[in-house]
Structure 1
Amino acid sequence: MRVVAVLAVVVLAAGCSASEPPPEDPSVDFSADDRKVTAEPFLYCDVQVKDCKRDNTAQVKLEVAPGTPVLVSVPQEVAETPWSVVIQYRTAAGEQMPPETVATFPPNKSSTFEALPPGDGDQLQTVEVKQAGAKLVRDDKGEAAAVSRGVWSAQISPPAA
């Protein structure tokens, strides 16, 4: 009887130690005209933003003419959380503009956004998606702001002449 009990414990322990592989990190699509690129996160953390991994090679590139919007599509696991879109662009006059948050979505409100350059002839340079984590910090105005748990980025350039 004792051998059977020990064998049962060993079998149960072996079954418990076999773990499923962790889920893949979500990816985000950036598209313009008839071109689409898929970005893996260059920063992705657990929801508490304590365990993070970074992949500096994950930024994708997309050629887009000045004045052309970029469509952002996020998967369900991002859309069901707060997320935002940040752009950086150069004006038609050549002025470099700082990064600007152009959209913020509450959970389950949207899975797509069309990032538009603000003015005629403005050239998007970067379009980023930021997924909020559960960790909060104080911004420069003293207000609570969520720390990004995931960041996906597309570097935008005009088509080669």
Structure 2
Amino acid sequence: MRRVLPVLPLLFVAACAVPTNPEVTFYADGKTVVVKPTQYCDLKSEDCDVDARAAGVLRVRPGRPVQISVPGELANSAWSVKFTYRNARGEAQEPLRSKLFTEREPRFAYTLVLPNPDDQLESVEVQQYGARIETSATGAFDFVARGTWVLSVDDRR
């Protein structure tokens, strides 16, 4: 007599890939660096992952532009670029910010051009905004950054 073993259904466990945080690409002087967020939070900017080591470094000569590419996840949200720089005499200037880009007109790339041709870029932050709003010391309303991607500039000649 032959025994028949019951066939057990095979259970397939779907490999659940852990979602990765979006990355931003910076390009200047023929070099590219891909940067992970130094901070990435939920939409309410409450539950955050922080990694200060995620900042990128790129050599940028005085007056040279920096091209920034963002993935769809950022392009289809509210984001802007904040940057610090020095003038030709080496004096720190007031930080500046790009216009605010939103999901109404998605923007996948931005070229950062300094105000004057001899200015030296120091740092760049791409900031994605979440749903949380706070009141500043001046009484103005500010959106809180959900994600921040940082580029430090190597300005050695």
TM-score norm. by structure 1 comes to: 0.83
More deviation, 100-109/120-129:
100-109
Q: Is the 8 A contact 2:29 2:59 kept in 1?
A: no
2:96 maps to 1:100: yes
Tell me, yes or no, if structure 1 residue 154 matches structure 2 residue 125. no
Cα deviation for residue 113 of structure 1 reads 0.7
User: Is it true that 1:111 corresponds to 2:108 in the alignment?
Assistant: yes
Tell me the alpha carbon deviations over residues 99-149 of structure 1, each in whole angstroms, 9 at most, x when there is no partner: 221232111421111111111210001011000011111123323221000
Q: Are the counterparts in 2 of residues 124 and 157 from structure 1 also a CA contact under 8 Å?
A: no
Deviation at 1:19, TM superposition (A): 8.0
**Are the aligned partners of 1:86 and 1:103 in contact in 2 as well (CA < 8 Å)?**
no
What SS class does the counterpart of residue 77 from structure 1 fall into?
Answer: helix
Identity of aligned residues (%): 36
Cα separation, 1, equivalents of 2:96 and 2:16? 40
For structure 1, the 5+ residue unaligned runs are 1-13
**Aligned residue in 2 for 1:58:** 54
**Paired residue for 1:40, among 36, 56, 63?**
36
> Who is 2:139 aligned against?
142
TM-fit CA distance, 1:18 = 7.3
1:9 aligned residue: none
Q: What is the total number of aligned residue pairs between the two structures?
A: 147
* Cα distance in 2 for residues equivalent to 1:75 and 1:85: 14
Decide whether the 8 Å contact of 2:29 with 2:61 is kept in 1.
no
Structure 1 runs (4+) deviating above 3 angstroms are none
Tell me the secondary structure at the aligned position of residue 57 of structure 1: helix
> Cα deviation per residue 1:60-80 (whole Å; 9 max; x = unaligned)?
000011000100111000111
Larger fraction in helix? 1
What is the RMSD of the two structures over their aligned residues, measured on CA atoms? 2.0
Are residues 1:70 and 2:66 paired?
yes
Corresponding residue for 2:117? 120
Offset at residue 40 of structure 1 (A): 0.2
3-state SS, counterpart of residue 74 of structure 2 = helix
Alignment gaps of 5+ in structure 2: 1-10
